[in-house]
Amino acid sequence: MNKIPCLISCINAYQSCSLIQAQSDIGILHIALLDSQDFSLGQKISVSFKENDVMLCALDNAVISTPNCFEASIYDTQSNDLFTRIALQTPTDSQSHIIIHALLPNISLKDFSLDKGTPCKWFVSPSQMILEY
């Protein structure tokens, strides 16, 4: 499970749905919720998402249909016959890095370079994120 500490910076609500923006060291994360009554502006939270909800694309693929898209580089990989677990080194505003893990089927990586240091983008849908406080 990936976990990123954040601070709620915006809450947009429509009927029973909400889209929360949360500021983190890697940038703004967008989280879709059915109910946001338990959350408030400026609140410290953790945003979590599963490794198998993280998707990858090449750095030159500029159009992704989610606001949660971040640049990274391949840091490490572990593979078996079916899956590859990829550690992605994601730069932060403070010149350090956060490691995000992705678990992907090998068949989806056949044309993707997994060499250490290879730049890429990772993304996750706002509906796949979990808020914890």
pLDDT confidence of residue 94:
79
Tokens of 12: 């947009």
Tens digit of each residue's pLDDT (9 = 90 or more) over 89-124: 999 987 889 999 999 999 999 888 899 999 999 999
Helix (H, G, I), strand (E, B) or coil at 73: strand
pLDDT confidence of residue 110:
86
- Alpha-carbon span 54 to 88, nearest angstrom: 10
Residues of the chain with pLDDT under 50: none
Inter-CA distances, 26 with 3, 73, 101, 107, Å? 12, 14, 15, 29
Asked whether 46 and 5 are in contact (CB, 8 A), the reply is yes
pLDDT confidence of residue 133:
84
pLDDT confidence of residue 43:
96
pLDDT confidence of residue 46:
97
CATH of domain 2-132: 2.40.50.100
Inter-CA distances, 1 with 20, 46, 117, Å? 20, 12, 22
- Alpha-carbon span 56 to 35, nearest angstrom: 29
Residue tagged 């509906």 (tokens): 127
pTM of the model: 0.90
pLDDT confidence of residue 35:
77
pLDDT confidence of residue 84:
97
